[in-house]
Amino acid sequence: MTMYVLYESSSGYALFNVHGIDEIGQNVEAVQSSVSDFTRFGQIVKLTAFHPPQTAQDALNQINSVSEGFMSEELRSFLELNLPKVKEGEEPKFSLGVSDPKLASCISEAMKIPCQSNEFVQELLRGVRQHFDRFNIDFKPLDLEKSQLGLARSYSRAKVKSNVNREEHMVTHSISLLDTLDKEINSFAVRVREWYSWHFPELDKIVNDTYMYARVSMIIEDKSKLSEEHVPMLAEVLGGDEDKAREVVVAGQASFGQGDPVDMINAQTFAQRLIDLIDYRKNLYDYLVDRVNDIAPNLAALVGEMVAGRLISRAGSLRNLATFPSSKLQVLGAERALSRALRTGGKTPKHGLIFHSSFIGRASRRNKGRIARCLAAKCSIAARVDYFGDNSSTDFGEKLRGQVEERLDSLHNLYVMEEVLEDDVIADDASEEEIDEE
C-alpha cells in the first residue's frame, strides 16, 4: 500500500510520498538510521506537492487550525488535489501519515482516507523537518528561518491575546501571594518584638499593632535618648494619640531593658524589612481589590473583594465559577470535609469559602446553613452576570446583597418569634402546674 506523509510547516503544507515501504515495512529503526544522511533519506521520502500560504495572516490561520486538530478548507483542497483519486465504493489503496492524532482523525472522518499517527510516521516527519530545506523547493537563503520566526511570534501573540483567563490568573497569584505574606509578616512580627524587647520590653504592652510597633521602634532607636521632642513624631505614628506617645516616652526613660549597639543595628534593620513587607502587602491588597472589581464587580459587591477573589482562585477562573451550581459553590473550599463526611457518614459541611462573608458571621448558629444556601445561590447569579453579561456596573450585586440582607433579617425575626412562643409555652405549663397543685 502506498503511503503519503503530510508535513505542516511555517512555509506551508507539504505532501511526501514514502518509497520502498514494502521493502522496509514500518521499520522505525530503518528510518532512524537513514535520517542523518539525506542521500539515503531522500531515496525513501520524495516531495509530491507543496502549497505555501498567500499571506502571513493565512499562515497564522492555518497553524491555528492544525494546533486545534481541525482541517481547514485550504488543507482539504490541497489533499483532494494531490492525493490519488478514490472512486466511490472502493477502498483507498494508500494511507496518509499525520503528526497530530486529532488532525488525523478529522481528516479520516471528513475525507474517508485511512490516516495513521504512530512512531513510524513521527520518525519520517522528524527526517522531513531536518532536511526540509534540501528538498526541491524554491527557498531563498534564510527564508525558512524568517518564516518560522515570524509565524512563531504571531502565533504566540495570538495565543496570549486570546487567553480569556489571563486576568483571573492575576487574581489567583495575588491571593496566593497575600496568604504567603500574611504568614511571613506574622512570623517576622514575633521576631521583631522578641528582638527589640531585650532593649525596650515595656513597649510591647503599650503598642499592640505590629506596623505601629515596628515604626515606633525605628523612631526610638535607643530608649535612653527619648525626650519630649519625640512626642510629635511618635504621636503621628500612633494615629495622633499624644497620650500614648507620652506614655512611650515615660516608659522608655524608666525602662530596665538592655541592648548592645550591634544588636540594635540588626534589630532596626529587621524592623525596616517588616515595614517594607507590610507596605507591599497593602499595595498588593489594593491591586487585588481593583482587579476583582474589574473582573467580577457584582460578585465583589455581594460578598466583598477578598471572598470573591478566593472563590475565583479556588474555581480556577470566573468562567468555571459561573458554571458551578450553587450547591457546589456553597461548599467550595471544603472539599476535604465533604469527602470525609460522605465516606464516614457524618454531617456534611454547610459552607466553604463563603464562611468568610459577613453574612455568615452575623447569622445565628442555627441559621448559618440557611444563610449559606441563600448566599451561594446569589453568588452563583452574580458570577454568571459578571461573566456572561456586558454591563460592568454593580447594580445586580447590590440588589442581590439587599435580598440576602432581607433573608437574614427574616430569619432573625423568625428566630425571635420562636423564642417568644417557646417562652409562652413554658409559662403556660408552669401556670397549669400551679393550678393542679391548688
Does 435 reside within a domain?
A: no
Does 202 reside within a domain?
A: yes
- What's the confidence (pLDDT) of residue 162? 47
Residues 196, 121, single domain; the answer is: no
pTM of the model: 0.59
Specify the long-range contacts of residues 397-401, CB closer than 8 Å, at least 24 apart.
Answer: 397/297, 397/298, 397/299, 397/300, 397/301, 397/302, 398/301, 400/298, 400/302, 401/301, 401/302
Q: Any idea what DSSP says for residue 392?
A: -
- What's the confidence (pLDDT) of residue 23? 47
Residues 246, 314, single domain; the answer is: no
Cell 409562652 found at = 424
Instruction: List the CATH number of the domain containing 285.
Output: 1.10.287.4070
Does 432 reside within a domain?
A: no
- Final residue belonging to a domain, choices 289, 305, 325: 289
- Helix (H) / strand (E) element for 176: namely helix 166-197
Sorted by sequence, the CB contacts under 8 Å of residue 167 that are 6+ apart come out as 291, 294, 295
Asked if 341 and 349 count as a contact pair (C-beta separation under 8 A), the reply is yes
Q: Are strands 45-51 and 12-18 parallel, antiparallel or unpaired?
A: antiparallel
Residues 250, 301, single domain; the answer is: no
Residues 19, 147, single domain; the answer is: yes
- What's the confidence (pLDDT) of residue 19? 78
Residues 222, 303, single domain; the answer is: no
- Final residue belonging to a domain, choices 289, 323, 342: 289
Closest CA to 219 of 206, 208, 209, 232: 232
Distances (CA, A) of 89 to 66, 86, 92, 104: 29, 8, 10, 21
- Give the structural domain span for 366: 297-425
Does 430 reside within a domain?
A: no
- What's the confidence (pLDDT) of residue 278? 93
Helix (H, G, I), strand (E, B) or coil at 48: strand
Asked if 118 and 96 count as a contact pair (C-beta separation under 8 A), the reply is no
Give the residues across from 3 on adjacent strands.
18, 95
- Helix (H) / strand (E) element for 179: namely helix 166-197
- Helix (H) / strand (E) element for 6: namely strand 2-9
Does 437 reside within a domain?
A: no
Cα–Cα distance measured from residue 71 to residue 55, given in angstroms and rounded to the nearest whole number: 19
Cα–Cα distance measured from residue 375 to residue 354, given in angstroms and rounded to the nearest whole number: 8
Instruction: List the CATH number of the domain containing 323.
Output: 1.10.246.90
pLDDT in tens, the chain (438 residues): 788 888 888 788 888 888 766 545 566 777 777 777 888 888 888 888 888 888 888 888 888 888 888 888 888 888 888 888 877 777 888 888 888 888 888 888 888 888 888 888 888 888 888 887 777 666 665 666 777 777 777 777 766 654 455 567 888 889 999 999 999 999 999 998 888 888 888 888 888 888 998 988 888 877 777 888 888 888 888 888 888 888 888 888 888 777 677 888 888 888 999 999 999 999 999 999 999 998 899 999 999 999 999 999 888 888 889 999 998 998 888 888 888 888 888 888 888 888 888 888 888 888 888 889 999 999 999 999 998 887 778 889 999 999 999 988 888 776 666 666 665 555 555 555 554 554
What's the domain count of the chain? 3
Sheet holding 94-97, edge to edge: 45-51, 12-18, 2-9, 94-97, 115-116
Would you say the C-alpha torsion 338, 328, 303, 280 has a positive or negative sign? positive
Residues 249, 282, single domain; the answer is: yes
Would you say the C-alpha torsion 148, 154, 157, 163 has a positive or negative sign? negative
Residues 232, 364, single domain; the answer is: no
Does 48 reside within a domain?
A: yes
Instruction: List the CATH number of the domain containing 69.
Output: 3.30.420.220
Length, in residues, of the chain: 438
Q: Residue by residue, what is the 3-state secondary structure of 245-286?
A: HHHHHHHHHCCCCCCCHHHHHHHHHHHHHHHHHHHHHHHHHH
- Helix (H) / strand (E) element for 173: namely helix 166-197
- What's the confidence (pLDDT) of residue 131? 81
Does 341 reside within a domain?
A: yes
Asked if 143 and 12 count as a contact pair (C-beta separation under 8 A), the reply is no
- Final residue belonging to a domain, choices 249, 268, 289: 289
> Could you give the dihedral angle defined by the CA atoms of residues 109, 111, 113 and 119, in that order, rounded to the nearest 10 degrees?
-60
Give the residues across from 45 on adjacent strands.
18
Residues 330, 357, single domain; the answer is: yes
Cα–Cα distance measured from residue 155 to residue 363, given in angstroms and rounded to the nearest whole number: 52
Cβ atoms within 10 Å, residue 274: 23
Residues 23, 99, single domain; the answer is: yes
Residues 148, 174, single domain; the answer is: no
Cβ atoms within 10 Å, residue 123: 19
Residues 99, 199, single domain; the answer is: no
Residues 52, 176, single domain; the answer is: no
Does 436 reside within a domain?
A: no
